[in-house]
Structure 1
Amino acid sequence: MGHATGDQLLISVSRRLQAGVRASDTVARLGGDEFVVLLQQPAGHQELAIIAEKLIEIIEQPIVLGGYDFHTTSSIGISIYPEDGIDADILLKHADTAMYVAKASGKSGFRFFDPEMNRRAVARVEVERDLRRAIQEQEFELYFQPKFCLSTERLCGLEALIRWQHPRRGLVQPDDFISVAEETALIIPLGEWVIRAVCRQVVSWRDQNLFYGHRVAINLSLLQVESDAFVDTVERILEETGAPPRLIEFELTESMVLRNPGRSAKVLQRLRKLGIHLALDDFGTGYSSLSHLRQLPLDTIKIDRSFIQNIPNSGEDNQIVRMIVALGKSAQMIVVAEGVETKLQKDCLRALGCDFLQGFLFSRPVPRQELEPLLLRDNEKNACPPCVGCQQTLSEQVE
C-alpha cells in the first residue's frame, strides 16, 4: 500500500489510542507497528481489562485512507508495576512477552503477564537454538505408522512421522518442536529433510524387495506450500534420490488448502504432474465442500480422529463419517479413517464403507527397524488380491 499510506495508517491508530485513554495517560510508538500505553494509577486488573477491550474495539473500526477501507487488529500485553517489575525495561519486556502470548492465541485479544510466560518464552528460545543445531547435525529420524486395508486386512501404506533424537533430552515428539519450527520458518529445511529421507528410504526398501507398492505419506506445512521454491525442491529431490513419485503422498490439512484455494490448486496441480499422490488430512474440521474437492487434484481424504473416537456410540459422529465417506466416494477418492483404537470402531468403519484404517489398534508409529519385519511378512502375501489402493498403484506401474 506504499510507505505514505502506511505512515498515515499508523498516525490514525495512534490518534485512536490517545482518544481511548485519559489525558493523564501516555501513548507512544515503540517502532514498526508496536505502541506502548502507560496508564497512571489504574484501579486494578478489572479496569485494565476494560481499557484493553476498549482499545481493541476502537482499533478494529475501519480506517478510510484514499477512499479505501483498511481493517486492523491488535494484540495487547499487560504488565503492572511493581508486581511485574520495578523498572521500565523489565515492565516493557514482560508486556512484550504477554503480547506475543495474546497474539499466538488469536488476533484481537489481550493477556496479563505472569512468570510462567517468561519460563515458556525462555524454553521456546532454547528449542529454537537447539533446533537450528539439530538441522545442521541431522539429529532426526523417521518413524512410520502403517495404514491397513479393510477389504484385504493387509498393510496398504505408511505415514512418515519425524522424531528428534536430542543429545540431552532423548527422543522428542513433534508436538514439542514443530510449532517453533513453523514460527521461525525452520520448517522449510526440516520439511526438506523429511522429504529427502523418505525418498531415500523408499528406494532402499525397493532395492531390498521389501516394498510392494505401498505409498509413504508426508505431512506438509503451510509455509512449504506457500514457498515459491517448494515444487522445484521436490522435483530436485526426486531426481537426486531416484524415488518413484507414485510411492510418495503429500498430506495437507483443510485449513492450509482453504487459506488460498487458488494458489493451493496451482501448487497441487504441479505436484500431481510430478506423479505424487495428494491427501487431504483432518477432513471434516474445516469447511470443504464437494465443489472445493473437485477443484483440487486429490486422491485421498483422511477423516479427522475427532469423529472416530466416539463411534459407534455417537449417532451424530456416525452420520458425519457416513457423509464424509459418501463425499469421498462421489469424488472417486480413497477414504482413510485415522485414530482407530478399538475393534468396535473398526467394525463400524467397515460398515460405513471406509477403505483404509490407521491407528493404535493396528500399530503405533515405529522406527524403521521395527517396521521392516512387518514389510517382510506383508511381502509374503503378494498372492492376495490387491485392494483398491494397491490396485491403483499397480496400474500406474503398468502404465
Structure 2
Amino acid sequence: METSWSLHLLSEILSAFSTEDPDNLRNVVNRVAESVDAEVAAILCEGQISWCIGLSETDQIQLLEQAKQQPSNIPIRSGDLHACWAPLGSSDVLFVGRLGERFDLEERALLRAMARSIELSMNMLRAVTSERQARNDAYQQATHDALTGLPNRRMVLDHLKATIDHLVADEALVTAVLFIDIDRFKWINDAHGHAAGDQLLIHISRILTDSVRHEDLVGRLSGDEFIVITQLGDRHATNELARRIIETIRQPIRVFGSELSHTVSIGISFVQPGDDPSVVLENADMAMYRAKALGRGRYANFHSSMRVLAQQRLSLEENLGHAADNGEIRTYLQPLFRLSDNTLAGFETLIRWQHPQHGILPPGSFLNQAEDSGLIQEMDMIVFETGCSAIAKWQQIPGLEHLRLSSNLSAHSLADPRTKERIKAILETTGINSCNVYLEITETALVEDIKSTASNIIALRNLNLRLAIDDFGTGYSSLLYLKRFPVALLKIDRSFVDGLGLNPEDDVIATTIISLARALELEVVAEGVENENQLDLIRELGSDYGQGYLFGQPMSIGDTERCFISPRRPHPAVHTTP
C-alpha cells in the first residue's frame, strides 16, 4: 500500500473535521473502508453508532451488542465480517469490517493510524465546538433575559438604534415602541411568591411574542417591564395592537392552583429619524405611567408635557418613601348619615399626605405610587389605627355608642395574611367595638386572587369585622362573589348617584343594586350625595345611608370633632339656686 495514498487519506480526515460538514465526515468513513477494501466502517461514540456505512439497521444493532467484546468476527446477514477495532481515545472506537480475507498487520497498522488522526480531529472539533458554545452562551447571557429568553435591555437598545439608523423621513411605516408594565406585580410576588411571579412573566412574554409579527422585537427590560418595537401602517394600528395586548393579558390564568386576574399598562412612543434610543424608551416609560394614572389596564401615547409630570412623579416617589416614617400620613374623616332619621351613623377614613412642600395632597396624587412600591400596606394600617382611636373615644359618649367606622383596605393588604394580626392588635389596643368596624374593599381587589382573598377575608371576618364592597357596580362583581364572601354592605359609586334623575341608565343601576342588596339582606350606602335632589332620590330608592358633600366634606380628626362630635355631647345639667 502506497505511503502517499495513506498521507492523502489522513489529510482528508483532518480537513473533513475542520469543515464540520457531515457529508465530508461520511466521505472519510467511506475512504477508510476503501483504503483496505472493506465493506463496512463505523465510528462508535459513547456506546452509540455515530457514523456507519455498509450495515443495515438490524446489522447495526448486532454490531452494538458485540462492541464491548470487540470480537474478531461478527456475523451479519451476508456473512461473517472480519473485524478490526481501533481505539479513538478512552471510550470511542473505529470499527472496520471486511468479508473474505482477514486484515493483515500492515492494514491494521494503517487503520490504527487513521483512528489516531480521527481521534485528534474529533478532539479538536469538540474543543472548537465547546469554545463556540461557550461564546454563544456568554453572548446569550449578555443579550437575553435568563427567565423568558427575550432580548434584554442591552439588545433592545442595540436593535432600536439600528432601527433608527435605517429610518428615513418618508418612511411608509410608523415605528413605535410599546413599554409594557404589569400592574401591581409586587402584590403578586408578595401574595403568591416569586415562583408564581416568574410563571406570570413567562406567560406574558409568550402573549407578547404571539401578538406581534416575526420581524418585530419583544424584549424584557427588567422586573415586570417589557418592550415591543414594531413597524405598522399608522398610529391607529399601533394603538389597536396595544389594545389587543391588554385584552389578551387581562384573561385570568391559573398559577399553582390560584387563579390570577392581572392587567398591564402600556406607554407608546413613536420613533423619528435621529432620535436617541434611550430617550425613546424614557418617553414610552412616561406614557406608561400616564396610563397607570388614568386607572391602569390601558394605554397612553407619549406627549412632551409628560416629561415635566415624570420629574414631578420622581420627586414625589422619593418623598413618599419617607412619608410614613416622618408622620406625614394624615387620616381624614367623612360623615355617614342614616337616611331614615337623618342621624349621624359614623365616618369613613380617607387618607391624605401632609407633604412638607406641597401641603395636603389628595390620594389620587400618590396612591398609585404607594401601591406600586408596596408602601400602601403601612399607610392602610396608619389610617385604620388613627380612625379606630378616634371612633373608640367617641363611642364612650352617651348617644354615640353605635358610631361606626369604615376604613379602606387595599389589594396589597387584603392579600397579606399578616394583615389579620395587625388589625387584631389595633382593635385590642384602641378598644373600638369591632362590630361597628367596616372594611371597605373594591371589587377589583376581591377578584385579584379568589382563593387567597377568600381565606384572608374569612380570617378578618372572624374578628367580628364587617365587609363593605366599595364602588359597587364599577368593577368585576357578580352574584357569585356576593354569595362567596361574607359581605355586609354595598356602596353605590358616586358616578351612578351623579346621574340620578338625569340618566335613565344610572337610575336603573342604582335601583338594581338596592334591590339586590335587599334580596341578600345587605345594607346600602350611596356615595357622592351633593344636593337635596339626589338625597330625595336615593332615599326614595331605599338606600340605608348617604355620604357626600351634602352631609359633610372630608375633615381632619380635630375638625371632625368640632363640627360633628362636640355638638352631640350631652350638656351638663345647669343647677339654679332657689
Q: Which shows bigger deviation, 52-61 or 341-350? A: 52-61
User: 1: CA distance between counterparts of 2:207 and 2:371?
Assistant: 32
Structure 2 letter corresponding to 1:294: K
Contact 1:78 1:111 in 2 (8 A): no
CA drift of 1:296 comes to 1.3
Say which is worse superposed, 98-107 or 344-353, in terms of deviation: 98-107
Which residue does 1:256 correspond to in 2?
445
TM-superposed deviation, 1:242 = 2.8
Q: Deviations over 1:316-354 (max 9, x none)?
A: 322322221111111111111111112122122222111
Question: SS of the counterpart of 1:238?
Answer: helix
- 1:246: which partner in 2? 435
Structure 2 residue 479 is the aligned partner of structure 1 residue 269: no
Structure-2 separation of matches of 1:163 and 1:239: 25
Superposed displacement of residue 107, structure 1: 8.4
Corresponding position of 1:220: 409
Q: 1:268 to 1:35 in 2, by over 3 A?
A: closer
How far apart are 1:239 and its partner, in Å? 2.6
Q: Which amino acid aligns with 2:508?
A: Q
Could you tell me which amino acid in structure 2 is paired with residue 377 of structure 1?
Answer: P
Q: Secondary structure at the match of 1:263?
A: helix
TM-score between both structures, scaled by the size of structure 1? 0.77
Match of 2:565 in 1: 375
1:314 to 503, 506, 510: 503
Give me the whole-angstrom Cα distance separating, in 2, the residues matched to 1:260 and 1:275. 23
Q: Distance in 2 between matches of 1:72 and 1:313?
A: 33
The TM-score normalised by the length of structure 2 is 0.55
Higher mean C-alpha displacement, 237-246 vs 297-306 = 237-246
Deviations 1:21-62 (A, max 9, x none): 4xxxx88765667666778xx8xx964664686698799799
Change (3 A) 1:139 1:330: same
How many corresponding residue pairs?
Answer: 361
SS in 1 for 2:553: coil
Deviation at 1:136? 0.9
Which is bigger in relative contact order (C-alpha 8 A, separation at least 6)? 1
Aligned equivalent of 1:358, options 540, 547, 550: 547
Q: In the aligned structure 2, how far is the partner of 1:116 from the partner of 1:164? A: 25
Partner SS state of residue 163, structure 1: strand
1:283–1:50 Cα change, 3 Å: closer
**Using a 3 Å threshold, how does the CA distance of structure 1 residues 158 and 115 change in structure 2: closer, same or farther?**
same
Q: Output one character per residue of 1:6-30: Cα deviation in whole Å (capped at 9) or x when no partner.
A: 4386699779867234xxxx88765
Q: Residue in 1 aligned with 2:54?
A: none
Please give the alpha-carbon distance, in whole angstroms, between the structure 2 residues aligned to 1:73 and 1:203. 41
1:7 aligns to what SS in structure 2?
A: coil
Q: Which range moves more in the overlay, 153-162 or 208-217?
A: 208-217
Residue 341, structure 1, aligned to residue 533, structure 2: no
User: Aligned partner of 2:517: which letter?
Assistant: G
Q: Tell me the equivalent position of 1:169.
A: 358
Distance 1:79 1:103, change over 3 A: farther
> Which amino acid letter does the alignment assign opposite residue 391 of structure 2?
V
One-letter identity of the residue aligned with 1:224: S
Structure 2: any 5+ residue segments left out of the alignment?
1-144, 151-201, 252-261, 572-578
1:78 is the counterpart of 2:269: yes
- Quote the Cα distance in structure 2 between the aligned partners of 1:315 and 1:56: 30
2:315 to 126, 136, 158: 126
Which is greater in Rg?
2
Letter of the 1:165 partner, please give it. Answer: Q
Spell out, residue by residue over 1:112-143, the C-alpha distance to the aligned partner (whole angstroms, 9 max, x if none): 53322222221111111111222111112222
Gaps of 5+ in 1: 63-70, 382-399
Over the aligned positions, Cα root-mean-square deviation in angstroms equals 3.7
Whether the aligned pair in 2 keeps the contact of 1:299 and 1:333 (CA below 8 Å) is yes
Judging changes above 3 Å, is the alpha-carbon distance between structure 1 residues 158 and 108 closer, same or farther for their aligned structure 2 residues? closer
Alignment partners' CA distance in 1, 2:264 and 2:532: 48
Look up the SS of the partner of 1:142 in the other structure. Answer: strand
The letter for the 2-side match of 1:180 is Q
Q: 1:176 and 1:56, CA in 2 relative to 1: closer, same or farther beyond 3 A?
A: closer
Of residues 286, 306, 328 in structure 2, which corresponds to 1:117? 306
Q: Provide the secondary structure at the position in 2 that maps to 1:164.
A: strand
Distance in 2 separating the partners of 1:320 and 1:115: 40
Measure, in 2, the Cα distance between the counterparts of 1:250 and 1:322. Answer: 24
